Amino acid sequence: MTGIARFAIGVALAAATTPAPAIAQQGPDHALARQMFDKVITFRTSEGQGQVPPMVAYLEGVLREGGVPADNIAKLPKGETVAMLVRVPGSDRNAKPVLFSAHMDVVDARPEDWKRDPYKLIEEDGYFYGRGTIDNKAGVVALISTVLRLQKAGVTPRRTLVFAFVGDEETGLDEADGTTRQIAAHPWVKDAEYAINTDAGGGILGPDGKPVIYLIQGAEKTYATFELTVTNQGGHSSRPRADNAIYHLAKVVTRIDEYRFPVMSNELTRAYLGAVGRLTPGPAGEALRNFAANPEDSAAADAIWRNPEFVGTTRTTCVATKLQAGHAENALPQKATATVNCRIFPGVTVENVGLELARVAANPNVAIKLLGAPVASPVSELRPEIELAITQSIRKRYAGVAVSPYLESGGTDGLVYRSAGIPTWASSGVFIKPNEMFAHGLDERIPTKSFYEGIEHIYDLARTLGGG
């Protein structure tokens, strides 16, 4: 699930910089990346399709043909899916490895709903269209391309580089045996110094296509889902009762809708909101700047609450996403259930959010059940060497663009790595307009230029962070 942060379209263009010349397909490395991109999009790697193993087989074949030894490739199966690790051994055995990560699975797309075949890479009007183009198969190709380029150049980094390809990011983040958790526990990975995740972080383009800011993901909210259920004996619909399960649940859901969790902030979120606020005109920008300067500013917090792009950066949020109730049109409901999805601010426990939902529900007959095994993720404070490496790479193509860390309102594999003790920063190298972010939706796309920029960005980071 991609995490390039979004914000209002009306950003101030006065702060935009002049982009470097567009990166077109350059030489055999880009040609091969384009060929791989074309192939991996054809694999329908959504849950239930069984297509991740064939995709891994294809990628493994490309790696082996490129000279990567079999001993440096490992596969971690889980049910119908599988993860893959690729290792580039370093010269310094005492140096901790660096992990790079991407996920191969996608949210399913129904071809009948799309204008174009979602499982065929289509290049049109400066974009690559297809399911997974931005979430996250461009990242997969960037990692494979980097391994092949290092192999071809005969590069031996000082640090060992490990490249992870996750098989169930879209569905397995809260599963104890998910492939990301298997990766984090693997002997090649468990002692990693840190990780770079390609599934988030990126640049924002203004309406005219000029870069506005580049964002590095350094924290994620905890993803937790609760089921709230009301049950009773029901009865005949001709004999209404005062304890109708649907009505009781509706009142509970309304209370949750009206409730606001406490305002919260940390150094990372204040830096992000302040950076975006300086580039955003009008009242929206003023609220962001004021909140960054003083998180106790209730007027600024209220203004941000009304902005879906930013509300998740300032507090825990819980929202009803599904309803199920009743069993017959002529019977009183015996059961009514609401699914409530929460995105929890770093430092707040899942348990406490569940207790708060129970308090807000104000109905002792509501049973609250936590689904799955949510993973809490600590903040990864941005290290100077990471910020410098990312900034240098981005400014090779966009001189002078502002760079800022940010808190992800959604969730990626980074939360699993962080919870396992591996600091993680997400940086894809991709620039896109906020209104063109269609991950998980119809007509998913990535700018053609950004695809090649992402290829170069990950290679830059591997060379710089690997050292030697």
Spatial separation of the C-alpha atoms in residues 319 and 137, rounded to whole Å: 29
Whether residue 106 is contained in a domain is answered as yes
Amino acid sitting at position 160: T
Beta-strand ranges (E) seen in 43-138 are 73-78, 81-88, 98-103, 122-124, 127-129
Residue 14: per-residue pLDDT: 34
Statement to judge: residues 104 and 164 lie in one domain: yes
Statement to judge: residues 294 and 390 lie in one domain: no
In this predicted structure, the answer to whether residue 38 has a pLDDT above a threshold of 90 is yes
Helix axes 137-153 and 448-466, enclosed angle (nearest 10): 50
- For residue 256, give both structure tokens: 């949750």
Statement to judge: residues 392 and 443 lie in one domain: yes
In this predicted structure, the answer to whether residue 129 has a pLDDT above a threshold of 60 is yes
Residue 24: per-residue pLDDT: 57
Which domain does 412 fall in, by range? 13-220+377-466
Q: 């929460």: which residue's tokens? A: 342
Whether residue 7 is contained in a domain is answered as no
Tell me what the mean pLDDT of segment 43-70 comes to: 98
The pTM (predicted TM-score) of the whole model is: 0.85
Spatial separation of the C-alpha atoms in residues 436 and 133, rounded to whole Å: 12
Q: pLDDT grade, residue 6 (50/70/90)?
A: very low
In this predicted structure, the answer to whether residue 270 has a pLDDT above a threshold of 70 is yes
Residue 289: per-residue pLDDT: 96
Tell me what the mean pLDDT of segment 211-239 comes to: 93
Statement to judge: residues 112 and 158 lie in one domain: yes
Statement to judge: residues 301 and 168 lie in one domain: no
Q: pLDDT grade, residue 23 (50/70/90)?
A: low
Q: pLDDT grade, residue 21 (50/70/90)?
A: very low
Statement to judge: residues 138 and 52 lie in one domain: yes
Whether residue 187 is contained in a domain is answered as yes
- DSSP character string of 7-42: --S---GGG--PPPPP----HHHHHHHHHHHHHHHT
49-58, 205-214, 240-249: which has the highest mean pLDDT? Answer: 49-58
Tell me what the mean pLDDT of segment 104-126 comes to: 95
- For residue 146, give both structure tokens: 């980097």
Please count the other Cβ atoms lying within 10 Å of the Cβ belonging to residue 319.
12
> For residue 153, what is the domain's CATH number?
3.40.630.10
Spatial separation of the C-alpha atoms in residues 423 and 282, rounded to whole Å: 36
Residue 37: per-residue pLDDT: 98
Statement to judge: residues 62 and 155 lie in one domain: yes
* Residue-wise pLDDT tens digits, 316-327: 999 999 999 999
Q: 């800011």: which residue's tokens? A: 213
Residue 1: per-residue pLDDT: 52
In this predicted structure, the answer to whether residue 446 has a pLDDT above a threshold of 60 is yes
- For residue 404, give both structure tokens: 């800022």
| Mean predicted lDDT score pLDDT of the chain | 91
Q: 């993973």: which residue's tokens? A: 375
Statement to judge: residues 205 and 298 lie in one domain: no
Statement to judge: residues 141 and 228 lie in one domain: no
Whether residue 1 is contained in a domain is answered as no
Domain boundary among 291, 310, 329: 310
Nearest to 1 by CA among 105, 81, 101, 100: 105
Q: pLDDT grade, residue 183 (50/70/90)?
A: very high
Beta-strand ranges (E) seen in 112-266 are 122-124, 127-129, 161-166, 194-197, 202-205, 211-220, 222-231, 235-236
- For residue 108, give both structure tokens: 């399913």
